[in-house]
Structure formats: C-alpha cells, structure tokens
A and B are shown apart, each in its own frame.
Chain A
C-alpha cells in the first residue's frame, strides 16, 4: 500500500518535470504545443542510444538529455513555432500534431517500434527500507532530483529578475512589452528550458514510463490532464496535479486494472466541465 503510494509519487514527480514546461508556455503565449512529448522522447532515446551503443554513464545522460532537448527546443522555436503564436488554436494543434506524427515515424524508422530498455547503473538498483517501507533506490533517486528541480524552479520564478519578468509576461504580455521586457526572448528561453525539462523527464522516465515511438501520443493526454487540473499559471498547481495523477494512475492500475485509463480521462473531462474558463481564463479575458 505505502509502496504503491511511493511509486505513484515518483511517477507523479516525473510527470511534473515532463509537463511543467508545457504549462509555462501555455500560460505565457497561450500556445498549445501537443508536440511537447516529442522533446521528452528525444531525451529518452538519447539516453537509450548513449547508454546502449556508446556505454555512456546514466548519470551523464541526465544533463545531456536536458541540453540536447533544450537545444532542439531553441531551434524549433526560432524557426517554426514563432510563426504560429498569432495563429488560431486549431492551427497550433494541427501543426504540433504534424510534428508528433513526424517524430513518431522518424523514431520508428531509426530505432524500430519496440519498447527500448535501459539497464540502470548498479548503484541505482535494488531496494532500501525507508521508515519501514521497502522502496526502490531508483525511485528515491528520481524523487530527489525532481524535488530539487521543483524547488529550484520555484526559486527561479520567485527570486530572480528573470522570474519576475516571466511572471509579468504571463500575467499580461502586452503590458510587459510596454514595460520594456523582451517577451520574445523570454519565450525562447522558457520554451528551451521547458523542452529541456521534458528531455530530462524523458531520461528519468525511460525506465519507469517506458520508451517507444508512440510515447508523445500516449503521454500527450497526461500532460493535458496535468495542465487542465493544475492550471497554467503557477507551478504548485501542476505539481499537485502531477502527484495526484501519478498516484491515481499507479494505484488504479494496481487495484482496479480493468478500469484502466478510464478514471484519468473522466477526471479530465469533469474538471474541464466544472471550470471551463477557470483554467486558462485569463488568456481569453481580453
């Protein structure tokens, strides 16, 4: 029971790292990027290739996953995404679905359709007893990293100059521009950072979530649940939503496996029905 709670917590923390970039870009530019999962997949597959083909250490893959995905984010943002900010949500959705399709097939082409496995370093294998609960060392490791990240993100947002500019821009991009804040630079940096975090989440999640070419499609819905339940304006919302979702999903699969993802989808629809405007309300108040 407690082990399930713990596993769910770890799962939820990964979801948070995966989804928080999406939540910020959505809040900032009111841009819906369904291809967010593709950046996570980039991190995941990078790990698979580096570890299995080149024998690189898992610990090195973590920063590498972040950097490569972030670089990918910058390139795509500057060349493609930037053209779509002013377009309709439908265009953004079509465009990002197109990207997902391309990413899925490209990975399928180069890596094959099967699920990729990685072998964790011995130091992360096994279980330890923590307050009387048997917990996996790797999950503990994941939780530690994600907690550090969450705290760091919160500090960046609340304490740094960049953070306050970002919050101003999320609040009202027009006013922020008027104040001389370079909103498009902020967006590029945020987009890159969000993509990087997704990549990092992909590295950490490769073992827990599983990596196969349909990853971006499979997890798209999870990201959407996180931001629809948690809202796109703060970090705490998505964080709590991710943890709840992680625990609900793990517990659901364990106790009532026949119900499957049914619960998750229902939660999403119900939340959206109860507060259809509340989620991204500010963005369309204008």
Chain B
C-alpha cells in the first residue's frame, strides 16, 4: 500500500525523485487508456471515427517527436504518412496480406526516406527547413501522381487485401477490429515514445532544441541525434500511414496532400506540443471539432480551422494542455492561499 502511494506521489525531495517524477504513470493516464479500450464495447457505433482518431493521434505524435522535443520544424511531415500508406497498400494489393508484417515494412520504408532526407532537412534556418520539407513532400506527391500505373494516381490505390491481424482477428465492416488494432499500435508506440522522451536521449533532444551551441560544447554530436529522431519520427508516421491504408483498404493520393502536414501542425499546437499527450488530446479535439463544424458548414469548415489556428498563435500559449496546466497551477495557487489564511 505504501509502495503504491509512493508510486503515485514521487518523493520530490531527492534529486533522483525529481528526475524520475515525469516517468511515473499518473492515474489519469491509465484511466484514459482503459476508457479508450472499453469504447470498443461501449460505443460500437463510433469505432470508425475512433479508428481515425487513433491513427491521426499516432501521426501527430510522430510530429511531436521532431517538433515538440527536437525543435525541427516541418511543413512536409505528410510525406512519411504517404510513403507508409502506399507501402502498406501496395503490399496488401500484391498478396502480402499480413497486417503486422505490412506495418513493419511500411515503417521501415518511411524510416529509410526519413533517414535519407534528414541530411537535407537538418541544414540551414527554420525557413530553409520548412521549405525543404515542403518541397520533398510535394515531389513525392507528384511522383505518386505520375506513376499512376503503380499507385493508382488520382483514382487512388484499390484492391488492397488484408488478412486477419496476427492470424486471429479478421477486419470487419464495422471497424471493430480496425479500432482495436490501431489503438493497440498507438498504445505500444505511445509507450515507447514515452520511454524515449524520458530517457537521457529524450532529455538531450530537449536540450538541443533549447540551445544547440551548448550541447555541442558539452560534446554532443548534435546532428547525429537529430538524424536519429527524424528517422524514428518518420517510422512512426509511416506506421500511421500503414494503419490508414490497412484499415480502409484503400490509399488515396490525398495522403500526400499539403493539408495533411498542415493539419498535423495545427493539431499539435492545438493540443500542446512537447508533451506527447498534446498530440492525443489535440487529435480528439480536432476530430470532434471537425464533426461538429462540418455538420454545420460542410464545405467551409476550413475557415473555422484557420480561425482557430490564428487565435491559438495569437493568444493560446501551449494549446489545450497548456491551458489545463496553467489553470491547474492557478487553482493550486488560489487554494494554497486559502489554506494559508
């Protein structure tokens, strides 16, 4: 009992205690995953939407790894989503129907692209980065469009066939298997990312983002670290793309659209960057907002999206999570004062 208490309330008096505090799972986090899993049975009519949210969250999570933690700006993160999606789709179309194998191969393909392009991206100013990432994504889109005989071009890639997950769970038309599958992948990768960002390597990324002159003077080969995380994030995004292709058994050219990359950025700033959960919460908020606004003004919901973006940049520091954190601090401050009186 005492051990359990100390797990949830880490001893912040010792140095190791304060360092380890963020590592511990808070009850709310555990609750979140339990609820997310139980929705499989509690809200069977919503699983298609939930599946989309899970995939989106994974994609935004991958952007958070490079942007939120390592400070690498990108306008073309969708490139990796697209490569993953096409890789998984093409595998499925040509008889390699095992979903998990497909996922791994698609992740590897996107990771390879990430590794190669990282050398182009990790040079120059933010502006150069933005433009190179954008350029790479646009080139890929053109390629996918031009090689229509392979990718299906503007008509999209059809005829993707998927076997049962792990040989056990057939994909059903209601999307139950799809959601279970995507949520499991999201959970595993979230867990890995959580370990990663709380490790010395993850803290070093934040240090590099803060001041790469200093990390260099500390003896850190800054660029190697950035290449690694860029590659890892590409793998994550590729897996998200693969999930998209496998669960919808279709790949449209739209996976490589500019708006995918822009949406991911928006969702991340909406949720709050550099905290992993921001990606998840942002994705949920975004999809709900989309459903709601698109229902009122189906065609023009981009207007509201743009407005939200402008408002967040102008006024909202840290997105939803930032707001929650600062209100919590404010409340604690008020309560603390009240107790002192």
Which one of A101, A105, A265 has the greatest number of beta carbons of chain B within 10 Å?
Answer: A101
Chain B residue numbers with a CB within 8 Å of A102 are 302-303, 306-307, 310
Question: Interface on B for A, CB 8 Å cutoff?
Answer: 67, 73, 75, 120, 123-128, 130-132, 134-136, 138-139, 142-143, 145-146, 258, 262, 265-266, 269, 299-303, 305-310, 312-314
A269 in complex: contacting residue of B67, B120, B130, B302, CB < 8 Å = B120
Known: A273-B120, A273-B123. A109 touches B139 (CB 8 A): no
| Shortest Cβ gap from A131 to chain B (Å) | 36
Q: Give the complex CA separation of A164 and B316 in angstroms.
A: 39
Q: Give the complex CA separation of A91 and B73 in angstroms.
A: 10
| Shortest Cβ gap from A11 to chain B (Å) | 19
Decide: A276 and B139 in contact? CB cutoff 8 A: no
| Contact indicator per residue, chain A 78-90, by CB within 8 Å of chain B (1) or not (0) | 0010011001111
| Shortest Cβ gap from B256 to chain A (Å) | 12
B126 in complex: contacting residue of A80, A88, A265, A266, CB < 8 Å = A88
Q: Give the complex CA separation of A102 and B124 in angstroms.
A: 30
Decide: A265 and B138 in contact? CB cutoff 8 A: yes
* A284 closest partner in B (C-beta): B125
Known: A221-B134, A265-B135. A89 touches B127 (CB 8 A): yes
Which one of A105, A109, A266, A283 has the greatest number of beta carbons of chain B within 10 Å?
Answer: A105
| Shortest Cβ gap from A4 to chain B (Å) | 22
Decide: A93 and B310 in contact? CB cutoff 8 A: no
Question: Interface on A for B, CB 8 Å cutoff?
Answer: 32, 80, 83-84, 87-91, 93-95, 97-106, 108-109, 113, 217, 221, 224, 228, 258-262, 265-266, 268-269, 272-273, 276-277, 279-280, 283-284
| Shortest Cβ gap from B60 to chain A (Å) | 14
Chain B residue numbers with a CB within 8 Å of A104 are 302, 306
Chain A residue numbers with a CB within 8 Å of B299 are 105, 108-109, 113
Decide: A221 and B146 in contact? CB cutoff 8 A: no
Decide: A98 and B310 in contact? CB cutoff 8 A: yes
Decide: A269 and B303 in contact? CB cutoff 8 A: no
* A84 closest partner in B (C-beta): B313
Q: Give the complex CA separation of A266 and B67 in angstroms.
A: 24
B306 in complex: contacting residue of A105, A279, A284, CB < 8 Å = A105
Q: Give the complex CA separation of A90 and B303 in angstroms.
A: 20
Q: Give the complex CA separation of A95 and B276 in angstroms.
A: 22
Chain B residue numbers with a CB within 8 Å of A273 are 120, 123, 132
Decide: B134 and A224 in contact? CB cutoff 8 A: yes
Decide: B313 and A262 in contact? CB cutoff 8 A: no
Decide: B309 and A94 in contact? CB cutoff 8 A: yes
Q: Give the complex CA separation of A153 and B300 in angstroms.
A: 38
Decide: B313 and A272 in contact? CB cutoff 8 A: no
Decide: A269 and B309 in contact? CB cutoff 8 A: no
Q: Give the complex CA separation of A284 and B139 in angstroms.
A: 28
List 5 A-B pairs, minimum CB-CB distance, nearest first. Answer: A101-B306, A276-B124, A98-B309, A105-B303, A102-B306
Q: Give the complex CA separation of A259 and B120 in angstroms.
A: 23
Decide: B266 and A94 in contact? CB cutoff 8 A: yes
Which one of B136, B265, B306, B309 has the greatest number of beta carbons of chain A within 10 Å?
Answer: B306
Chain A residue numbers with a CB within 8 Å of B145 are 260
B130 in complex: contacting residue of A32, A95, A259, A283, CB < 8 Å = A32
B125 in complex: contacting residue of A101, A269, A280, CB < 8 Å = A280
Chain B residue numbers with a CB within 8 Å of A269 are 120, 132, 135-136, 139
Decide: B139 and A98 in contact? CB cutoff 8 A: no
Chain B residue numbers with a CB within 8 Å of A217 are 258
* A100 closest partner in B (C-beta): B306
| Shortest Cβ gap from B72 to chain A (Å) | 10
Chain B residue numbers with a CB within 8 Å of A261 are 138, 142
Known: A32-B127, A262-B146, A266-B139. A101 touches B73 (CB 8 A): no
